[in-house]
Structure 1
Amino acid sequence: MHIYSFEKLEVWKEAIQLAVNTYKITDLYPNEEKFGLVSQMRRSSVSVSSNIAEGTVRLANKNKAHFMTIAYSSTLELLNQSIISKEFNFISEESYKNIRLEVESITNKINALKNHFLKA
């Protein structure tokens, strides 16, 4: 089986795990949030890895960097939604801290990748 370049990136692997964790956490949300926070959090978490993958296949480094910016933005969108979730007690303090740690690691790696593309 062929492995694409994005599949070798540690940041992409972390972003996939972030999406998996987000789906697991949001399974515990109240039913009335199914089309609210649950939907938004799942979409933003999936967007992170999707934009990393899409960006790596772009030909121009400026385009690659642009997709990293979108991935970064989606990561912070998820963090914001997690803060709101914590305020409503939909997630525990521990779950919130775990998401925050994942976000910090991923955003640092996305920034490094974006800077790499802009300098190349």
Structure 2
Amino acid sequence: MHNFKKLKIWNVRMMLVSESYKITRTFPKFETYGLMSQMNRCAVSIPSNISEGTSKSSNKHFANFLEHSLGSAFEWETQLNVAFNENYISEEKFKELAQKIKEIQKMISSFKSRLQAS
């Protein structure tokens, strides 16, 4: 078993959660139960699946939770695109966050591959 708090992939994801909450606070009020909620739930799901996976008894089970985490990362990326298309965030912020989420996706994929190889 792994200590999720010591995993770099978990810590980086926690920073994304904070960033997601920060940007969604600026969204229009009518998005409270729409895009705002969905983005934040996805952002939280990414590190949550990583931490839950660390409790599993095998690397195979842990890899399944990493797969869910990766899915949430791609879902969050789509929602980021929606937010940008609706002019809820600036192009600069969009580019910054798009780069971060792509790095996160690569980190999860790489960690999952290493885990499955061991």
- The normalised TM-score by structure 2 is 0.95
Name the Cα RMSD after superposition.
1.0
Aligned to 1:23: 21
Residues 51-106 of structure 1 deviation map (CA, whole Å, 9 limit, x = unaligned): 01111221111111110010001011000001011110011111111211111111
Match of 1:48 among 46, 49, 57: 46
Q: How many equivalent pairs are there? A: 117
- The normalised TM-score by structure 1 is 0.94
Question: 5+ unaligned residues in a row in structure 1: which ranges?
Answer: none
Q: CA deviation at 1:44?
A: 0.1
1:64 matches 2:52? no
- 4+ residue runs of structure 1 moved beyond 6 angstroms? none
1:119 matches 2:99? no
Q: Which amino acid aligns with 1:100?
A: A
Q: CA deviation at 1:6?
A: 0.8
Secondary structure of the corresponding residue to residue 49 of structure 2: helix
Question: 5+ unaligned residues in a row in structure 2: which ranges?
Answer: none
